[in-house]
Chains A and B, each alone.
Chain A
Amino acid sequence: MKEFARLLIALTLIAAISGGILAAVESVTREPIAEQRRLQMLRALSAVLPAFDNSPDSDTLTITTGSDRQGREVETVFYRGRNEEQLVGTAFRVVAPDGYSGNIAVMVGIRPDHRVHAIEILTHAETPGLGDKINEPWYKALFVDKALDRNDWRVKKDGGDFDQLTGATISARAVVGAVRTGLELYREHEDKIIAQGDNP
């Protein structure tokens, strides 16, 4: 019993000290980490939105846009870019669940005329040299100015308008599907996105 208490005390002490140190480090790094994430978000937003003069990461609208396989609600945050108070584009994150290796997160920027302004790949784990070509500028440029009712949102192999990537049709299909989902989401929620115009 006495030994048991000794073991317990040793473990508890070490755990407590570790916890204390971690709490201290966390409180020091919290702000730089938040800032890094914000900067990364802003970089992605500037890449997919037309020139704006507001800060889209604070001009947001969160809408419940569906549910995942476990039935939990999925929320999409819409970031609105404005120039001289005028809405010039809306950006949001769409996740393609059907990548070749895991999810592909895509940031899509859509202009008020329902066309894609630009897309950016946020995270992916596609095969280097094959599937990761989805992250090359020429590939992302394929989506510029495309719209739901003007284009066939499938890869060419399936009879659509979009180039597949040699050896990586699955990756290309996933991205095309994600951007199409994005355009559909935008159309579905457009009135809300435009209506709450003066939200800070």
Chain B
Amino acid sequence: MSLATDFKRGIWKENAVFKLLLGLCPVLAVTTSAENGLGMGLATAFVLVCSNAVVALFRHLIPAKVRIPCFILIIASFVTVVQLVMEAYAYELFQALGIFIPLIVCNCLILGRAEAFASKHPVSHAVADGLGMGAGFTLVLFILGGIRELFGAGEFLGFSVFGAGYQPVILMILPPGAFITLGLLLALMNKVEKR
């Protein structure tokens, strides 16, 4: 398996959201706008790449019996780093994402990759896997956020698209809008796959 295959797998074939349906809590909760989706995706991707690298680096030293607490400790540390850095240098985004930043710790995508991939592969492959999974995750959050923002606020990345006369579909910003959009996207994915 080459590094490129490890990277590409996360974007489409084993996309965290569309194929594995992992980490759905932030996917549904913060994608009220494209910007929030992108911010959350990048934060998660950063944690994923770092934790994958560290887990792979120490994979022979971490005893199997305590591997899960070790992984969680590593993940939680990187999440706290992201939280502090974001609060210091991207305060508005930090406030928009709120409680979902610390909750990256329990995003099962990250623990899942640490357990299923990083703990069994060398660092370079683990990083490639983290980058691919992270990119795939970010892409989905960005698309979902973009669609919801477009119909729910008539904007994209804060710029008005439909003009001032547009009556926003509030449902799209509310939690049901996330489920509906995700469901439609999944259906579309399956349709494309079947061809």
Q: Which residues of A contact B (CB under 8 A)?
A: 3, 6-7, 10-11, 14-15, 18, 21-22, 25-26, 29, 32-33, 36, 40, 127-130
Would you call B124 an interface residue if the criterion is a C-beta within 8 Å of the partner chain's C-beta atoms?
no
Q: From B66, B77, B168, give the contact of A22 (CB < 8 A).
A: B77
Beyond A22-B77, A22-B80, A130-B170, 6 additional pairs, beta carbon < 8 A: A7-B65, A10-B61, A21-B77, A25-B80, A128-B32, A128-B170
Alpha-carbon gap, A108 to B32, bound state (A):
29
Residues of B within 8 A of A36 (CB): 87-88, 91
Chain B interface secondary structure, helix, strand, loop or mixed?
Answer: helix
Residues of B within 8 A of A18 (CB): 73-74, 76-77
A and B contact pairs by CB, cutoff 8 A, 17 listed: A7-B65, A10-B61, A14-B58, A18-B74, A18-B76, A18-B77, A21-B77, A21-B81, A25-B80, A26-B84, A32-B89, A36-B87, A40-B91, A128-B152, A129-B168, A129-B170, A129-B174
Would you call B49 an interface residue if the criterion is a C-beta within 8 Å of the partner chain's C-beta atoms?
no
Alpha-carbon gap, A18 to B54, bound state (A):
11
* In the A-B complex, the 3 residue pairs with the closest CB atoms: A129-B170, A32-B88, A18-B77
Q: Which residues of B contact A (CB under 8 A)?
A: 32, 58, 61-63, 65-66, 69-70, 73-74, 76-77, 80-81, 84-85, 87-89, 91, 152, 168, 170, 173-174
Q: From A10, A25, A32, give the contact of B66 (CB < 8 A).
A: A10
Q: From A7, A25, A29, A130, give the contact of B63 (CB < 8 A).
A: A7
Minimal beta-carbon separation of A171 from chain B (angstroms): 14
Known: A14-B73, A21-B77, A32-B89. A127 touches B84 (CB 8 A): no
A29 touches B85 (CB 8 A): yes
